[in-house]
Structure 1
């Protein structure tokens, strides 16, 4: 009885520590993209885009991407990477979690209890802190290693400073501090702003066919899976009143016959999740919120721009 009581107390303590994280993850899984950094930027997928006045901080590495290090621009699209809580930040966190869970189950099988190797709250908290520290250091090392081994794009050239692009849209419009190798015209900026609103509307309407037209096959596959997860939960995410406040061109380049443009976007929107049947509010609300993300668009000759990637601003 004492062993069972200790086990229940330990499980309750772990759940209390994990609940805030679960709530944060749930709240992030709302607007289009779900708060993930997803997609591909061609050969620059593993290179951080330059900072801009709209997003002066760095962009988060991709949580979901089909591009592999050493990508040469010829790979196709397959099934998207697995998501879920333990896979959200990569395989290492899932491996650690599985390892500790396995060790706890073995302890139970041999009569030691799930947390037989721990003694009290201090040990549990210390273990959690050690795991977080190990994961943080490991992700920093992996990000450094990816940047170090990322092959340079053969067509990339340094961009001279001192020139600015403006489209006259939004609060201050699109601006850029650099002149990119690929010229981005006012009509392109208008297309980026239009895609921002159209993609949010298609997501809110759960219009998969429209999303497939506005995004690359990779991004469409992520959005479809996120919508399926919402349906399984019995909820629908409603996004409205999307308005661009500021946008900056980070970089633009060409790979083979594909053009890429990465822009930092700061926009406002009303983001709420409701129960599919009753309409009861589950997450979010009617108050507009501001979001800053880095979006990458791509196009082929004779075709329109499509969303190729979304990265979160750190």
Structure 2
């Protein structure tokens, strides 16, 4: 193998890695500094892997969890099918073709051949461009298939009774009262508790008051908040949320599991989100201008106890 062939092989391998990474990079948006860090975190009981129904406040889909202690396949939990990108059981023809296509192509390029080394035209630079383009197309198709496979069945598993849970929705004045058709009735006092928790949790986060957070959220959520706060300390910054105002909210679904109540509510709120240097007070991220966020918060309470935050999902 000549130096030129080695260089060309290395270039092809790098191009393949970049083509694999680009779709993933483009799907990642900068994390927000507010409580939760812009991630979808927590657990929703047996519905952790079922997306909450869309509402007037959050008409789109809620993101699957980036961080959760709930294990797929646990009793009562709807586990997403499969164990990975290409090794999921029953992945279908597209997954098998994508795996075989990429595997054969990568091996061919790493050993000095082209993606289709038997076709002479692909040994040229135009052939290389075509190979990279084909890889990108196949990866995008496979990722699209994988996302549908892992997300849509879970989304379709939502309770039909809860789909109309926001029939008496109000906007601009806090929560709509929802409907009594949900498996668990949510009353005005519950909505007041949800709005109060939204403000109290953001305030405890701004004060870095972990003890206070333990009274407002589940241990799982507090573990995520604590890890995020530790990262801020390592960067020598502090995040402050102020001027919080609930603009709109409504019930996505509410249900009961044994002696435990759950309620997922969509909330659109305004806030000032600033991150400053701990030592100098210099602004690092954010601004004094109010921004808006729309998230689905899930609350949990043992029978007769107070509501606590158990999950935040981005929309």
Query: Relative to 1, partners in 2 of residues 1:198 and 1:125: Cα closer, same or farther, differing over 3 Å?
Result: farther
Q: 2:89: which partner in 1?
A: none
CA-based RMSD of the aligned residues comes to 4.4
Q: Which runs of 5+ in 1 are unaligned?
A: 74-89, 94-105
- TM-superposed CA distance for 1:173, in Å, is 2.5
1:173 paired to 2:174:
yes
Cα deviation code 1:80-128 (max 9, x no counterpart): xxxxxxxxxx9649xxxxxxxxxxxx99xx998xxxx996777667645
Query: 76, 99, 104: which is aligned to 1:72?
Result: 76
Query: 229, 232, 244: which is aligned to 2:231?
Result: 229
Rg larger in 1 or in 2?
2
Cα deviation code 1:228-250 (max 9, x no counterpart): 22222332222111110011111
Paired residues, number: 286
Q: TM-score normalized by structure 2?
A: 0.70
Is residue 166–residue 251 contact of structure 2 (8 Å, CA) maintained in 1?
A: no
Secondary structure of residue in 2 paired with 1:310: strand
Secondary structure of residue in 1 paired with 2:186: coil
Q: 1:218: which partner in 2?
A: 220
Is residue 173–residue 247 contact of structure 2 (8 Å, CA) maintained in 1?
A: yes
Q: TM-score normalized by structure 1?
A: 0.71
- TM-superposed CA distance for 1:280, in Å, is 2.7
- TM-superposed CA distance for 1:51, in Å, is 1.8
- TM-superposed CA distance for 1:165, in Å, is 6.9
Q: 1:134: which partner in 2?
A: 142
Distance 1:239 1:146 in 2: 33
Q: 1:143: which partner in 2?
A: 151
Secondary structure of residue in 2 paired with 1:27: coil
- TM-superposed CA distance for 1:299, in Å, is 0.6
Query: 36, 40, 50: which is aligned to 1:37?
Result: 40
Distance 1:229 1:265 in 2: 26
Q: 1:261: which partner in 2?
A: 263
Distance 2:55 2:193 in 1: 20
Distance 1:20 1:236 in 2: 32
